[in-house]
Structure 1
């Protein structure tokens, strides 16, 4: 019966793994159009994962998260999530997963203009594709190399890779990626001021589309890029024809955002053709649709075009009205960004709270299972050792129960204290600030000040809750997990300040086990060092490196900031606490400041 139950549980776990993997793929696919919904789905999937979830499924969830962060514009967070996926796919020996993640990481690095890093990951993907004879992925690598070199303005090499990928996609009859690559190549040709080549490749794409089952969205995109090419050559009649084709295709698909964009382009071309009445009609329609969709950026662009058009025709009153609308929209864009960040913090806090509850429940279940196993062992000993074993068994059982209750109580006290001190006080301040903002909503300066306070305390609350959840999770009992957490924190504080990060994490960190107290000490020392570098050094580069050398863990956190003179700085609690925690780990902490050249923190402790 036990074997049957175990087999049934195994089959159930496999089914759940397959479902999680497929749902992660769905979140990945949603990211380009509905990034907020995709983000909520991916975080929910991560909270569903358990100890029985396969490493491959967890890796795919992190891969989806990284791709979503890319589309949300959080590039450092994207790199961290994708790097975690890359590590997990590697441990699971999933070569296809490693290749996919390498391609995704390279795209993020390309957007950050870190071309060398992008090529490094694409080179690994290229080698794996050749070793496994994976033609489809290898062609994708060629396409991405073309995009990388295009962004690096090495147009000659970019053209070689994109043309090679185009030919390979045609050979394997992957027409969807052929069209996408053709559009990328047409953009390259426009950058090279080669409109004839751009038109040639786009007409080839049109020919392919005419022989395939209708793909209306790709057809519309080809029409749009044909129009862009004609517009570049001032062939406004042809540009109008293809923009109009794209406009009606998107109308058929009911893609309202694309309809608004094409309407704006049509209005812009009609203005060039001096067909001002029609131009005004399309531009006003694009403006109203953008207003309905709350797309402030499109509204702002249309308002600027209308202002310039009316100014050119000496309609000064209308020109002034639309110029004023554009200025108001610019202010609204800035305010909406603040509100969006506040809502994201709120959503993240609610998710972290849920994860905390789930983690606590898992911990209690694990403790209960451990108690049951020990109870059964004592029953077996009772049958063998009779009265003496009964006495010893009861003593051991009572000791285990007392210790378990004590540990549970200590855990509850610690969590309750953290929630009360950190989260409770912060939520009180948020509540008061929101009430003040509502009461003073007619005073923008007061509202802005209170929103900033809410943002700061929400961010602090989110970080505290995240640390609580992380500290009680038994899955984080090794140094690799601690350093991944450190890297995530570094990305969160560096990204808003545009501070470049370099992360070096050697192999073997997963073999260094740390209990709850030790990993807490390591995490807080690293966070304090990173905070000091970001807040006070004025740096543009932060390096975080970790390795194990001769049974000693060595962590280095260095910046290229202003440095300081130790004799002129008052010693505060931060440095004292860092040294105290290093001593508690039987380790050592050395601070090397160099005035005008940066600061380096060397943190070492035994790996055993």
Structure 2
């Protein structure tokens, strides 16, 4: 069993409404629908849009009606009513064709394909996905292309083509990371976990599921949380830990029943029954199987498939008739164009000669202009390189001034105080201790500065080793229970000095905040590297803070975010008063070795 086809359908729906909404003024009805839909109140969401459709006239505001019909398709699909969902999607598509809104058509076609995929009609699903892909290629819609990669990957997975599925999921994941979409990242990680589960790599599957759950919790996506919990339960079932499996499945069921997510309810009940049977508790297995038969009876059946086919046939017939009328009109228009073209041919023959002369002149002008532009660009590039070198020298000078200058000043003051006390026979041991501690801190800062500036250290394995060493030394004398879960087999990947410096300083700042400000008892540091890139999590159980009341997150938090985003990474921070703080950092492999666009522009 899997919980992904319906997830793919959910993923495919959320985009059309926002795309069309962008062309309209703010509408409280649309906002209310999104609130109801996100909260899992699908019946209330459908009723809201049905009332709005009834209030609009037959030809009144077709763009807004397209949004309403698409929203109704969303709600009915989540309620497990595919025939009604298809009817509304087709009405939305018909209006979108009349409006000639290619972007909306592409996304609605993807929605219809996902609906067929949910019914396991992969052949028909791929037809609609291909139509959507053609439009996405023309419009350059990377978001839509990523969604299609994800959905087609699901079909590959259902056909047991796991390598093809993984390839699609990884491509989609890379796009979602660049677009910084937490909801899509949760879905992509969930899908990767499912494939690894089928391949028997259970620990890897659980790791991806946990990443998915982390992103789902960030955006409070109850549907995704329920689906991921059930998937985690299924992996524990495969590991024959049936008690843990059933616990996760029941957590998933409680959330799914609360939001009326039919697909998750069906899969969770099926998993619970299966795990009770494998655990030898046949009485419970029988009772849960009875529940499964009752719930599943109205979800996927032969009559629904027939009704979908009939609905699609009627829609296709209507579309063909419209196409025939358009062809007749185009034929008449083409005949008129042909006459006009014949008249233009004679005129064009004279224009060719003059055009050739103009082309030769323009080519010569463009050549000299290109050569001049190249010279200007080269000069600008050299000037920017000099500016970069100057900025780097200034930064190093500033760092040395801030760290060494302030430290030496402090030592000087303490030494002067000690000298006066010595002269008065009142020297205290505390002064000498302060001098030693400041000196030690200064030496450590110099060591870090030299390490960051050394180009030989600009490799990923050296960076991870330095992070591990620094965390161990820094936390050794602290009364904090620290858990360092740092991957050992890190490749010797060359990275930019900017990435090396920024990531190390972010870790230093995060540890400083945990020890000095958080007041925590427990601290967890997780670091992983795989094909997707570098993933770090720093989480404490301290006093936390209210992020809504801290504009920009304070200087330290703002500096950490800036350092990560400067190298093209993704930075998330979640915290509430009394609930600790969690920081997640992700950097793609290509960003680790790339020079920031803010560093060099030509």
TM-score, normalising length: structure 2:
0.38
Larger Rg: 2
Structure with more relative contact order (C-alpha pairs < 8 Å, separation 6 or more):
2
